[in-house]
Structures are given as structure tokens and as C-alpha cells.
């Protein structure tokens, strides 16, 4: 399997190269040149297999240049029982008739990003070995909270790789900060930046493009890479759990073989929902995808009108991991749905760069609307949904998951006769304050760790193990830097 650029501006590369490079150096994203397919019979047979077997089956199709035994090793190391619940890596909870919640947050940091970031470091490590790269890879991460901790946990103590995380000093919750600065490992660094998330993100992006700095780093034996979902190595592990969830429904006798389901995904960068779409292209029976947004509903507008327009205000919401205006992975989706038409992609992304907007043609729009629905949930709706679902169905969704539930309800107002899988992307404890406010327990508590305890008492549920005792853990990172001094900070870390 070769990987090609969505903009037709780069040679075809192997899976290992695509993962090592992260994105196409000249701009654009790597995509598989064709999509492997499973039959209904293949999917039916997966009922005899566990998560790891299904993961191996899928990864092997995409990473044909990797050694099968080594892939298996990587999968078993990643989804080890210390990182995930031993049998049920992604539990599927029946919420109501024909409604299922796919809990993706049982990994070490309580966010769905663990499912990819526990495995991807092994894939990168193997890529480095295959290419015989004689440099140490330095993963630069700019984070607004969740990605940073998941990347630190995933890359911790992986030989030949260092990871440096930049977060906005005042822009993450105290729990998220605490999760990051208490990470162990000899190869991890965490830096608080005096600036906002965009300052961190822009600084990191500029560094990737800074030729002189990259040459200097290279002479000293290092090379930069990225761990966000522009990297194919982060997307491919996410295809797995959509198959696993479907197969689980088959096993429970809730659906018949070949029966289509709906899939709802609370979406930010379009990575998770794109993985679901790849699963569909590989043969998973899907009726509709419901792309759920919060008040930053650029994707809802795009799916309804065919116009993608970033000239709008950015809103801070209680589902911060979806506060995003540039959904990077949409480019991959548009490439696939236009049957690899890189001329169109170039035209649209050129418009986006110069005018901050692009409009797709009617034919493509109709094609998308046959399978994709865009809906959103505003702040009040999200809070009401958390409260109502807890009260009526005794299930406690986090704000991101609640956005998914509400968006689905707006799409499907009548009786649900098609089963729906709703992706749940974070533990409710990760966003305790918003959740506690939504279920209307009277409280007058300021400290975030006390709020965790209060939520536990109020709901009679367990605090996610990643967040328990967090306030008692030792702080291991205390670096702080100004937003225009990130380069110096990196050099200081590498020396
Ligand atoms: C990252 C994240 C999302 C958005 O996922 P994308 O793949 O970027 O669409 C949703 N919810 C949570 C909790 C996240 O951390």
C-alpha cells in the first residue's frame, strides 16, 4: 500500500514514510491510494475475534510494509491490560432502544485520543527502524488539553523519541494541567507558554516550516515530527473500534448481519468521524453519519450549505476539544469523496488560504449529503442533555458526548428504527464542573479536585483512575516560556 498526497504534489510513499513525515512537506495530507475492503462474511467472522485480532487485520491492510509479527507486538503492547480494561477496551453501553454509546475513554488519560496515541508511538518507532533513520525524533505537540497528556503517556520512554508539549499557561483546566505536569518518563518535557492555544499552535507550525532551524536540529542528530491527527499513524487505529462496535451488536443479536447502522461522532478536527467513514468505505454497513458540533458549528454549516467559511467568531464552550475552526481532516474526506480529485482539493484549499472560505460544487455536495448529516448543540442544549440523560436514563455523558446525543436527536426526531452508535469521547470526570452544573447538584465549590469528589458523591459513580489522586502526585515539570521564546526552549531541552 502506497500513500499519496491529497494535493498531488508529492511522490507516493510507504506507510512507514507517511507516518515518519506526519504530513506532506509541500502541504497536503497523506492518504492511502486505495481503500481495502472486507465482505459482510469477513465482518461476520470477526465475532470470533478480540479487539487485538481485529486491529491487526485492519492495520495489516493499510501498513503492508510493516512486519506482521511486529505489528502484533505493537498492538499487544498498546492495548495492554494496564492501559485499558482487560477485555472491554471500548465498552458499548445500551442507552435506550436502538441507541448505543461507544465509550472510547477507558485508556490511561480518560480521553478517546488514547486509543490512537497508545499505539501510534510503536508504529513510529517501527517506521524509524525500517527507514534506518539515524536521528532522534522529537515530537512537538501544541495542546489545548487532551492531546498533550495522551501524547505524553503514549510516547513516554519509547526509545529514540522525545516528546515536548506546549500548553497555554492559563488556557487549560487545573486538572488537565496537573495530568500533564505529573507525567514521568526520561524523554518527556512539558512547557507552559505565556500565550493562548493559537500562539502555541502557530509557533509549532512555524517551526515545522523553518528550514534553517530544521537543518540546525538535523546537524545535531534530531528530526521533528507530529502526533496530531494529520498523521496517518493516528487515524488508522481509530478505524478499529467502529468495526469492534458493529461486531459487538452482531454478537449480542441486536442487529442482523449486513444491517446498516447510524454513526454519530462529536467532531473537532474531523479525525474520529473520518476513521468511521474509512470503516464504511472498507465495507462496514452504515446508513448515515451524523457529524456533531458545538456552537463552533462550521461543519454543520458546511454540510448543510457546501460553504466552508472560517470568517466567524471563535467561541469557548464546555466541550473545548471541539472548539476548532479548521478541521484538518476534512481535506482527506473531500479527496476520497471526489474520487481522488486533487485539482479540486488544490482549488478549494487555495481559496481557504487566501479568502478564508471555499465552496464545493453541487454534485459533490449532493454526494456528501446522501451520507453525512451535520447538526449541532448549543451550550444550553448540551447542559440540558447531560441533566436529562442522567435523570431519565441514568447515564452520565461528558459535554462532548452530550453534543453527540443532542445532535443525533435533532436529526432523528421520530422513532428510531435504525440502530445508532454514538461515540463518547471523554470521561464525564474530565469535565466535572460542567457536568456537575448540568445535573444541578447545588454546590459552592471552587477547587476542581473537590468538584471531582462532589460529582462522585452526587452520581454514585467511580472517578476515572487517571484522575483519582491526581492532586497528590508529584509535579515533575515546571518549565515556563514566553511565546516568542519557544525555539530557545526547545534547544535548551535538547541540550
Ligand atoms: C479531540 C476530541 C474530540 C474531537 O475529535 P476529532 O477527531 O478532532 O474530531 C472530541 N472530543 C474529545 C473529548 C476530544 O478530546
pLDDT tens-digit series, residues 197-232? 878 888 888 888 788 999 999 999 999 988 888 899
Looking at residue 204, what is its pLDDT?
A: 86
Looking at residue 415, what is its pLDDT?
A: 78
How many helices (DSSP H) and strands (DSSP E) are in the chain?
21, 15
Looking at residue 382, what is its pLDDT?
A: 98
Rounded to the nearest whole angstrom, what is the distance from the C-alpha of residue 266 to the centroid of ligand 1? 7
Instruction: Kindly tell me if the per-residue pLDDT of 365 is higher than 80.
Output: yes
* Arithmetic mean of pLDDT, 351-363: 97
Residue 113 a catalytic site member: yes
Q: 236, 294, 425: which to mutate for ligand 1, most atoms within 8 A of CB?
A: 425
Residue pLDDT, tens place only, 63-79: 999 999 999 999 999 99
Question: What backbone torsions phi and psi does residue 423 show, to the nearest 5 degrees?
Answer: -70, 130
Closest residue (by CA) to atom 2 of ligand 1? 321
Classify domain 92-108+233-432 at the CATH topology level: Rossmann fold (3.40.50)
End-to-end CA distance of the chain: 38
**Cα distance between residue 397 and residue 403, in whole Å:** 9
* Arithmetic mean of pLDDT, 398-425: 95
Largest CA distance in the chain: 63
Catalytic residue among 113, 130, 390, 406: 113
Q: Which helix H or strand E contains 60, and what residues bound it? A: helix 51-62
C-alpha cell belonging to residue 377: 448543540
Q: Which helix H or strand E contains 218, and what residues bound it? A: helix 211-219
Pocket lining: 111 vs ligand 1, CB cutoff 6 Å: yes
Pocket lining: 373 vs ligand 1, CB cutoff 6 Å: no
**Cα distance between residue 88 and residue 276, in whole Å:** 19
Instruction: Kindly tell me if the per-residue pLDDT of 400 is higher than 80.
Output: yes
What is the number of the ligand 1 atom nearest to the C-alpha of 105?
13
Closest residue (by CA) to atom 4 of ligand 1? 268
212 touches 151 (CB < 8 A)? no
Looking at residue 341, what is its pLDDT?
A: 97
Residue pLDDT, tens place only, 371-392: 999 999 999 999 999 999 999 9
Looking at residue 145, what is its pLDDT?
A: 77
Name which residue leads in pLDDT, 178 or 229: 178
Indicate the pLDDT class of residue 150, thresholds 50, 70 and 90: very high
**Cα distance between residue 170 and residue 460, in whole Å:** 31
Looking at residue 392, what is its pLDDT?
A: 97
| Most confidently predicted of 55-69, 84-98, 319-333 | 55-69
Looking at residue 26, what is its pLDDT?
A: 82
Using DSSP, state whether 2 is helix, strand or coil. Answer: coil
Question: What backbone torsions phi and psi does residue 331 show, to the nearest 5 degrees?
Answer: -60, -40
Q: Name the residue among 149, 85, 86, 140 with its Cα closest to residue 113.
A: 149
Q: 150, 322, 397: which to mutate for ligand 1, most atoms within 8 A of CB?
A: 322
C-alpha cell belonging to residue 17: 514514510
Looking at residue 210, what is its pLDDT?
A: 87
Indicate the pLDDT class of residue 156, thresholds 50, 70 and 90: very high
Residue pLDDT, tens place only, 254-298: 999 999 999 999 999 999 999 999 999 999 999 999 999 999 999
**Cα distance between residue 251 and residue 150, in whole Å:** 31
420-424/372-376 β-pairing: unpaired
3-5/30-32 β-pairing: antiparallel
> What are the residue boundaries of the structural domains of the chain, listed by start?
92-108+233-432
The rounded mean pLDDT for the chain is: 94
Residue pLDDT, tens place only, 18-57: 999 888 888 899 999 999 999 999 999 999 999 999 999 9
Instruction: Kindly tell me if the per-residue pLDDT of 172 is higher than 90.
Output: no
Looking at residue 440, what is its pLDDT?
A: 82
**Cα distance between residue 154 and residue 461, in whole Å:** 27
Residue pLDDT, tens place only, 422-464: 999 999 999 999 999 999 888 899 998 999 999 999 999 999 9
Pocket lining: 321 vs ligand 1, CB cutoff 6 Å: yes
* Arithmetic mean of pLDDT, 184-204: 90
Rounded to the nearest whole angstrom, what is the distance from the C-alpha of residue 264 to the centroid of ligand 1? 13
Which residues have a Cβ under 8 Å from the Cβ of 178 and sit 6 or more positions away? 470, 471, 473, 475
337 touches 345 (CB < 8 A)? no
Using DSSP, state whether 189 is helix, strand or coil. Answer: strand
163 touches 189 (CB < 8 A)? yes
Nearest-10 crossing angle of helices 232-251, 120-131: 130
376 touches 300 (CB < 8 A)? yes
* Integer Rg of the chain from CA: 22
Pocket lining: 114 vs ligand 1, CB cutoff 6 Å: no
The predicted model scores a pTM of 0.95
Rounded to the nearest whole angstrom, what is the distance from the C-alpha of residue 269 to the centroid of ligand 1? 7
Amino acid at each position: 500500500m502506497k500513500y499519496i498526497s491529497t494535493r498531488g504534489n508529492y511522490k507516493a510513499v510507504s506507510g512507514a514514510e507517511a507516518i515518519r513525515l506526519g504530513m506532506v512537506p509541500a502541504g497536503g495530507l497523506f492518504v492511502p491510494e486505495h481503500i481495502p475492503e472486507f465482505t459482510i462474511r469477513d465482518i461476520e467472522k470477526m465475532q470470533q475475534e478480540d479487539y487485538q485480532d481485529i486491529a491487526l487485520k485492519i492495520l495489516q491492510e493499510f501498513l503492508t510494509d510493516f512486519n506482521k509479527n511486529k505489528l502484533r507486538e505493537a498492538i499487544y503492547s498498546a492495548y495492554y491490560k494496564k492501559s485499558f480494561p482487560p477485555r472491554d477496551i471500548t465498552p458499548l453501553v445500551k442507552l435506550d432502544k436502538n441507541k448505543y454509546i461507544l465509550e472510547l475513554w477507558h485508556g490511561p488519560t480518560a480521553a478517546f485520543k488514547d486509543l490512537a496515541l497508545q499505539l501510534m508511538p510503536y508504529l513510529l518507532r517501527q517506521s524509524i527502524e525500517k527507514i534506518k533513520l539515524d536521528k532522534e525524533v522529537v515530537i512537538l505537540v501544541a495542546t489545548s488539553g487532551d492531546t498533550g497528556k495522551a501524547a505524553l503517556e503514549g510516547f513516554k520512554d519509547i526509545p529514540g523519541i522525545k516528546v515536548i508539549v506546549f500548553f497555554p499557561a492559563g488556557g487549560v483546566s487545573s486538572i488537565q494541567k496537573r495530568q500533564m505536569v505529573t507525567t514521568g518518563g526520561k524523554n518527556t518535557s512539558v512547557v507552559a507558554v505565556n500565550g493562548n492555544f493559537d500562539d502555541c499552535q502557530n509557533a509549532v507550525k512555524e517551526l515545522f516550516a523553518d528550514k534553517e532551524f530544521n537543518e540546525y536540529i538535523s546537524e545535531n542528530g534530531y528530526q521533528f515530527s507530529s502526533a496530531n491527527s494529520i498523521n496517518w499513524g493516528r487515524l488508522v487505529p481509530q478505524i478499529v473500534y467502529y468495526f469492534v462496535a458493529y461486531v459487538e451488536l452482531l454478537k449480542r443479536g441486536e442487529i442482523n448481519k449486513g444491517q446498516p447502522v447510524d454513526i454519530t461522532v462529536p467532531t473537532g478536527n474531523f479525525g474520529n468521524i473520518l476513521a468511521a467513514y474509512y470503516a464504511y468505505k472498507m465495507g462496514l454497513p452504515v446508513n448515515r453519519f451524523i457529524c456533531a458540533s458545538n456552537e463552533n458549528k462550521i461543519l454543520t454549516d458546511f454540510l448543510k450549505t457546501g460553504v466552508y467559511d472560517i470568517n466567524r467568531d471563535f467561541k469557548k464552550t464546555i466541550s473545548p476539544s471541539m472548539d476548532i475552526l479548521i478541521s484538518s481532516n476534512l481535506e482527506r474526506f473531500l479527496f476520497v469523496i471526489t474520487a481522488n480529485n486533487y485539482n479540486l482539493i488544490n482549488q478549494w484549499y487555495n481559496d481557504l488560504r487566501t479568502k478564508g472560505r471555499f465552496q464545493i460544487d453541487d454534485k459533490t455536495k449532493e454526494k456528501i449529503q446522501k451520507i453525512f448529516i451535520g447538526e449541532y448543540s448549543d451550550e444550553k442544549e448540551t447542559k440540558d442533555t447531560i441533566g436529562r440523560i442522567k435523570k431519565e436514563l441514568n447515564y452520565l455523558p461528558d459535554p462532548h458526548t452530550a453534543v453527540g446525543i443532542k445532535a443525533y436527536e435533532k436529526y432523528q426526531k421520530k422513532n428510531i428504527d435504525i440502530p445508532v452508535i454514538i461515540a463518547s469521547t471523554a470521561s464525564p470526570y474530565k469535565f466535572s464542573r460542567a457536568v456537575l452544573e448540568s445535573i444541578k447538584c447545588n454546590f459552592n465549590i471552587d477547587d476542581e479536585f473537590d468538584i471531582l469528589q462532589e460529582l462522585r458523591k452526587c452520581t454514585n459513580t467511580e472517578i476515572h483512575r487517571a484522575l483519582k489522586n491526581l492532586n497528590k502526585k508529584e509535579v515533575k515539570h515546571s518549565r515556563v516560556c514566553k511565546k516568542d521564546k519557544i525555539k530557545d526552549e526547545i534547544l535548551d531541552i535538547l541540550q
